Amino acid sequence: METRTFQDFLVGRGLKLTKERMAVVGEIFSTHGHFEPEHLYFKIRGSGIKA
C-alpha cells in the first residue's frame, strides 16, 4: 500500500519512478521506528544500488 502511495505521489508531480527511489522508499517502509539517514544510505549502498 505504501509503495503505491509513493508511486502516485511521483506521478502526480511528473517525476520518474526509478529503481533508486523504489529502493529508498522500500527500505524506509521496511524499517520500524526511527532510523538514521546514514544507516539507510549504507544499507542501500550495500545492496549495490547507487542512491
> How confident is the prediction for the chain on average, in pLDDT?
88
pLDDT of residue 50: 79
- 46 assigned to some structural domain: yes
Give the integer Cα–Cα distance in Å for 48 and 50.
6
The count of domains in the chain is 1
Average pLDDT on 23-39 reads 89
pLDDT of residue 49: 83
- 5 assigned to some structural domain: no
Average pLDDT on 18-44 reads 89
pLDDT of residue 1: 61
Percent of the chain whose predicted confidence (pLDDT) is above 90: 33
Compute φ and ψ for 26, nearest 5 degrees. Answer: -65, -40
- 3 assigned to some structural domain: no
Query: Which single residue is written with the C-alpha cell 500500500?
Result: 1
Distances from the Cα of 43 to the Cα of 9, 12, 34, angstroms: 24, 28, 15
